[in-house]
Amino acid sequence: MKIRLDKYLTEMSVGSRSEVKKAIIKGLTEVNGETVKKPEQKIDPALDQVCFQGRRITYAAMEYYMLNKPAGVISASEDRHETTVVDLITEKKRKDLFPVGRLDKDTEGLLLITNDGELAHRLLSPKKHVDKVYYAKIAGKVTEEDKKVFAEGVDIGEDKLTLPAKLHILKSGEESEITLTIREGKFHQVKRMFHAVGKEVVYLKRLRMGSLVLDENLKTGEYRALTDEERRTLTGENE
């Protein structure tokens, strides 16, 4: 599908639409080795080679990044006062990236950053029941009884109990360690579930969302593009 040259450059974060138009008119853009001065010229992103001020600008219709979110960063696309998860993706080409779902400001771990709205809907839709796996440290002794309560559904003050969740106890004591698999994404859900059984989450990290597993080589705050296999599995191309 062909698109306008100014739209192509704007989507690839070269500048604002007005800035790009002025630059094209000044003759700062080449398409297939020839200078183009018409912002409205149509090009094929799959076939045409575009250079801006001598720099090759490759087109990406979709981008997919895995971020190991650090605490203190908000799950948003932009914010006037705080650092967002999208701000951390410094090598992004597109301006329309967003986080798929939210992690609380103090929560760490796996977060998918993309501009694929269809994929985001599929992962977040309550009807899809996509598994989300968390590791947590809990103030208080997590017990087998807690496992039973979580497996049956927890009353967190809403009309319905939470969906059944799988609680695995790694360590039980004054500070317990657990992994928890849930199939929803309610506001502060993990914290509210433990609060309902008289305990407090003191550290929370997401490890997995659907088929996507946090890369253990990614340090907190680091990110990487998804591999082709990760992307195909997430988007259903392997089905």
From-to residues of CATH 3.10.290.10 in the chain: 3-56
CATH number of the structural domain 64-126+212-235: 3.30.70.580
Selection from 64, 50, 40 nearest residue 14 by Cα = 50
Q: Which residues pair with 204 in a beta bridge?
A: 136
Structure tokens at 137: 């440290």
Query: What fold is seen in the domain 132-209?
Result: Alpha-Beta Plaits (3.30.70)
What is the pLDDT tens value at each position of the chain, 239 positions in all?
Answer: 899 999 999 999 899 999 999 999 999 999 999 999 999 999 999 899 999 999 999 999 999 999 999 999 999 999 999 999 999 999 999 989 999 999 999 999 999 999 999 999 999 987 888 999 999 999 999 999 999 999 999 999 999 999 999 999 999 999 999 999 999 988 999 999 999 999 999 999 999 999 999 999 999 999 999 999 999 999 876 55
DSSP state of 189: H
**Burial (CB count <10 Å: 0-12, 13-18, 19+), residue 104:** middle
Question: Which residue do the tokens 């948003």 mark?
Answer: 76
Backbone angles phi, psi at 11, to 5 degrees: -65, -25
pTM of the model as a whole: 0.87
From-to residues of CATH 3.30.70.1560 in the chain: 132-209
Q: Show the 3-state SS of 36-99.
A: CCCCCCEECCCCCCEEECCEECCCCCCCEEEEEECCCCECCCCCCCCCECHHHCCCCCCCCCEE
Class of domain 3-56: alpha beta
Catalytic-role residue among 104, 106, 131, 155: 104
Q: What is the three-class DSSP state of 132?
A: strand
What pLDDT, on a 0 to 100 scale, did the predictor assign at position 166?
Answer: 98
- Is residue 87 part of the annotated active site? The answer reads no
What pLDDT, on a 0 to 100 scale, did the predictor assign at position 235?
Answer: 83
